């Protein structure tokens, strides 16, 4: 789509930036309101041609009007709307923008878009409004990605993390890193410019120290990356256990509805049943599975196989044990199969007379054990807290910016590797040229992260995932 050189000049565009574009900015389907957004140099005049009014739209002033369609037979008004004009450069896109709030009928909205296209607008591509905001310097690439994350957020925690990114927490952290890195690069380059004089703009002993400080901050951002990815992307948790221990009851209790069939007959669950739940801010795909045991039933055996496959890709596992029934070899087999997984062992049916105590499980190592009654709801809060702690630890958010995007993580890792090479070169007494080469690699990675220097195919891929109208 576009790239920038080191001073931020736009050198390539996929779409003409002087077009006026239009799209429905609200979700498909019927609703109380629907918004049609126009952006571009003739957005204001084009919108004026759609409205039943003689005066131009005032800046940032909601104006009630009617939408009219001028045909050969006359002028037909077909909806009452509220139109708002946002002049450049202070609009969302950085261009002139008009937003028309109409009644949320797809027929009406499509007719407004068609009239705008007849008047000279072009239907916007996916993400093109946010792309223009990026090109016009209203957002950097990290913030543009946050827009998509905010739209896609399923939990309040996901929304909060995306909004922090949109507000510039990661941008500011990367900017501060780049300022210090640029200062070090400039000093080393100045030393290279005066080799005969033997003058150093930075003491050799301070080079490695300065690099180490920057490297530590990069590694600090990466430290919470796995936690951030779980929050942003969600995770999968599979419920395992032998047949008829209450796996489906625990699943239903966590989901909050009767999604899985619960009977007293062992082996009822033959396939995987899943649902997405908000686990204290985490979007968790909870998977109820068939009981793990050796069986001659071909259908149940397939269910067991699918349960084992789900275990192999799960972020964590909930192992359910029935405390009201005697422990069997099948129980110990499940515990053995999940020994290497992050897991919560759930002692179920604590509302009934116990057949054994927790000590009988003989669990080794750091195991999270919690007691519940899926029937009465006792202990479910503790189970949710234990599962959250197993997935992301006790603290979900910290004061430092949380890196969650896989692209950001990869580029920070690249910068970390380059800074590590630069630090080792400085400690080994290498000349400025070798240290500078590594530092420039680190700067390139940081610039690609924020979009100051990003390949066109990367930018194209980022905005392709946006919906039309955003």
Token readout for 405 is: 């995007």
Residues 436 and 354 in one domain: no
| Claim to verify: residue 33 and residue 134 sit in the same structural domain | yes
List, for residues 247-259, the tens digit of each pLDDT value: 888 888 888 866 5
More confident residue, 297 or 222: 222
What is the rounded CA–CA span in Å between residue 64 and residue 58?
12
Residue 152 lies in a domain: no
Question: Does residue 5 fall inside a structural domain?
Answer: no
Angle subtended by helix axes 432-450 and 204-223, to nearest 10: 30
126 and 182 within one domain:
no
**Quick one: what percent of the chain has pLDDT higher than 90?**
39
Rounded to 5°, angle at Cα 314 from 311 and 315: 140
Rounded-to-integer distance, Cα 147 and Cα 92, Å = 12
Please tell me the distance from the alpha carbon of residue 142 to that of residue 158, in angstroms, as a whole number. Answer: 16
Looking at 139, 155, 190, the residue that finishes a domain is 139
Q: What value does the mean pLDDT take over residues 199-207?
A: 67
Is residue 124 domain-shared with residue 176, that is, in the same domain?
Answer: no
Place of tokens 């029934």: 325
What band does 271 get if pLDDT is binned at 50, 70 and 90?
Answer: low
List the single range of 77-91, 188-202, 302-316, 376-390 with lowest mean pLDDT.
188-202
457 domain residue, yes or no: no
Judge whether residue 266 has pLDDT over 50.
Answer: no
Q: Which residue has the tokens 């997984």?
A: 341
Confidence grade of residue 294 (pLDDT, cut at 50, 70, 90): low
> In which element (H, E) is residue 19 found?
none
Residues 248 and 211 in one domain: no
Give, for 98, the enclosing helix (H) or strand (E).
strand 97-104
At residue 282, the pLDDT reads 84
More confident residue, 465 or 294: 465
Strands (E), 183-313: 235-240, 273-279, 282-288
Residue 134 CB neighbour total at 10 angstroms: 25
Burial of 341 from C-beta contacts in 10 A (0-12 / 13-18 / 19+):
middle
**Average pLDDT of every residue of the chain:** 83
CATH number, domain containing residue 388: 3.40.50.300
Return the DSSP state at 153.
-
The Cα 409–Cα 391 span in angstroms is 19
CATH value at residue 87: 3.30.1360.120
Task: Say if CB 426 and CB 207 are below 8 A apart.
Answer: yes
Residue 449 has pLDDT above 90, yes or no: yes
Reading across the β-sheet that carries 21-24, which strands appear in turn? 63-71, 74-86, 97-104, 31-39, 21-24, 122-123
Percentages helix, strand, coil for the chain (3-state, rounded to 5) are 45, 20, 40
Task: Kindly tell me if the per-residue pLDDT of 341 is higher than 90.
Answer: no
Q: Are residues 265 and 372 in the same domain?
A: yes
Which among 46, 57, 67 is positioned nearest to 109, based on CA atoms? 67
Q: Is residue 172 part of a domain?
A: yes
pTM > 0.75:
yes
DSSP 333-348: HHHHHTTTS-EEEEEE
Range 346-368 average pLDDT: 82
Contact 139, 150 (CB under 8 A): no
* Same domain assignment for residues 310 and 194: no
Nearest Cα neighbor of 281 from 224, 223, 318, 234 is: 234
Confidence tier at 261 by pLDDT (50, 70, 90): very low
**In which band, very low, low, confident or very high, does the pLDDT at 144 lie, cut at 50, 70 and 90?**
very high
Residues 275 and 385 in one domain: yes
- Hey, what are 199's tokens? 């003058």
Q: What tens digit of pLDDT does each residue of 310-332 get?
A: 777 788 899 998 998 888 888 88
253 and 381 assigned to the same domain: yes
183 domain residue, yes or no = yes
Work out how many domains the chain is built from and give that number.
Answer: 3
Token pair in block for residue 206: 């301070």
pLDDT of residue 90: 93
What percentage of residues in the chain have a pLDDT greater than 70?
84
469 assigned to some structural domain: no
Query: To which H or E segment does residue 82 belong?
Result: strand 74-86
108 lies in some domain: yes
Residue 415: which CATH number?
1.20.120.430
Name 245's Cβ contacts closer than 8 Å, sequence gap at least 6: 291, 320, 321, 322, 325, 331, 348
Which of the residue ranges 31-45, 137-151, 178-192 would you say has the lowest mean pLDDT? 178-192
> Domain containing 113: what range?
21-139
Model confidence at 399, in pLDDT bands (50, 70, 90)? Answer: low
Q: Give just the sign of the alpha carbon dihedral 96, 102, 104, 110.
A: negative
Note the pLDDT tens digit of each residue in 91-128: 999 999 999 999 999 999 999 999 999 999 999 988 89
Residue-level pLDDT at 264: 45
Residue 116 shares a structural domain with residue 185: no
Name residue, tokens 């510039």: 168
**Is the separation of the CB atoms in 467 and 126 below 8 Å?**
yes
Residue 162 falls inside a structural domain: no
Q: Is the dihedral of CA 26, 30, 31, 35 positive or negative?
A: positive
In this structure, the answer to whether residues 39 and 85 fall within a common structural domain is: yes
Do 356 and 302 share a structural domain?
Answer: yes
- The mean pLDDT of 375-384, rounded to a whole number, is 90
Whole-angstrom Cα Rg for the chain: 29
């Amino acid at each position: 789509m576009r790239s920038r050189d080191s001073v931020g000049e736009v050198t390539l565009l996929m779409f003409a930036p002087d077009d006026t574009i239009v799209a429905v900015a609200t979700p498909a389907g019927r609703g109380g309101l629907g918004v049609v957004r126009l952006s571009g140099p003739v957005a204001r005049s084009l919108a004026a041609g759609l409205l039943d009014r003689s005066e131009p739209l005032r800046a940032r002033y909601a104006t009630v009007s009617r939408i009219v369609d001028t045909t050969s037979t006359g002028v037909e008004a077909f909806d009452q709307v509220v139109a708002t004009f946002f002049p450049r450069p202070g609009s969302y896109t950085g261009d002139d923008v008009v937003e028309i709030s109409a009644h949320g009928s797809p027929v009406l909205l499509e007719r407004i878009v068609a009239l705008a296209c007849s008047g000279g607008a072009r239907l916007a591509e996916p993400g093109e409004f946010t792309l223009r905001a990026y090109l016009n310097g209203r957002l950097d690439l990290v913030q543009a990605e946050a827009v998509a994350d905010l739209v896609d957020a399923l939990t309040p925690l996901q929304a909060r993390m995306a909004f922090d990114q949109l507000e510039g927490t990661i941008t500011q952290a990367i900017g501060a890193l780049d300022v210090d890195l640029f200062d070090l690069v400039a000093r080393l380059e100045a030393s290279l410019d005066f080799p005969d004089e033997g003058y150093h703009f930075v003491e050799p002993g301070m080079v490695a120290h300065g690099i180490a400080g920057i490297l530590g901050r990069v590694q600090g951002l990466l430290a919470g990356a796995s936690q951030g990815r779980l929050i942003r992307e969600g995770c999968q948790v599979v419920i395992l256990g032998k047949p008829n221990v209450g796996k489906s009851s625990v699943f239903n209790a966590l989901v909050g509805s009767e999604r899985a069939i619960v009977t007293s007959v062992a082996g009822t669950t033959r396939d995987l049943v899943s649902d997405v739940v908000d686990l204290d801010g985490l979007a968790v795909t909870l998977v109820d599975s068939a009981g793990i045991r050796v069986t001659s039933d071909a259908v149940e055996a397939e269910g067991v196989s699918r349960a084992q496959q789900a275990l192999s890709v799960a972020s964590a596992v909930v192992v359910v044990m029935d405390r009201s029934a005697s422990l069997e070899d099948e129980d110990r087999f499940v515990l053995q199969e999940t020994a290497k997984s992050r897991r919560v062992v759930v002692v179920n049916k604590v509302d009934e007379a116990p057949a054994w105590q927790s000590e009988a499980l003989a669990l080794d190592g750091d195991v999270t054990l919690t007691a519940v009654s899926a029937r009465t709801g006792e202990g479910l809060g503790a189970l949710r807290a234990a599962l959250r702690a197993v997935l992301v630890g006790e603290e979900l958010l910290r004061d430092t910016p949380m890196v969650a995007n896989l692209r950001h993580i990869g580029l920070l890792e690249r910068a970390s590797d380059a800074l590590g090479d630069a630090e080792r070169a400085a400690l080994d007494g290498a000349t400025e040229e070798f240290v500078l080469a590594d530092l420039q690699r680190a700067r390139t990675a940081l610039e690609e992260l924020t979009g100051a220097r990003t390949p066109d195919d990367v930018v194209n891929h980022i905005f392709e995932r946006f919906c039309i109208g955003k």
